[in-house]
């Protein structure tokens, strides 16, 4: 209800982790949340999610920062995180 009623009435984004009953009754995964937002925000939300899908998420999933850290720990130059 928090992710549907609050965005509708207050015209703002809201998210929650889901109560025990909600998580038990649905297939929400351990790393997932419930997000609700006003319909007027749909176009910009989709645009931002598409951007994250193309750049930020794949880059993060590559674990470049971890490999850079490990290289630096072994004494290699490795550069800096901003060079990723």
pLDDT in tens, the chain (84 residues): 678 899 999 999 999 888 888 888 888 888 888 999 999 999 999 998 888 887 776 666 666 777 778 888 887 655 555 554
pTM score, whole prediction? 0.55
* CA dist., res. 47 & res. 66, Å (int): 28
Q: State both tokens at 72.
A: 């630096």
Query: Which of 60, 84, 68 lies closest to 76 in space, CA to CA?
Result: 68
């Amino acid at each position: 209800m928090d992710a549907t009623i609050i965005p509708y009435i207050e015209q703002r984004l809201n998210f929650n982790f889901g109560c025990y009953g909600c998580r038990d009754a649905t297939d929400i995964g351990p790393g997932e949340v419930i997000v609700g937002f006003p319909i007027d925000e749909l176009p910009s939300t989709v645009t931002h999610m598409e951007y994250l899908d193309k750049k930020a998420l794949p880059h993060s999933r590559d674990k470049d920062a971890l490999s850079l850290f490990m290289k630096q720990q072994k004494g290699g130059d490795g550069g800096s995180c901003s060079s990723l």
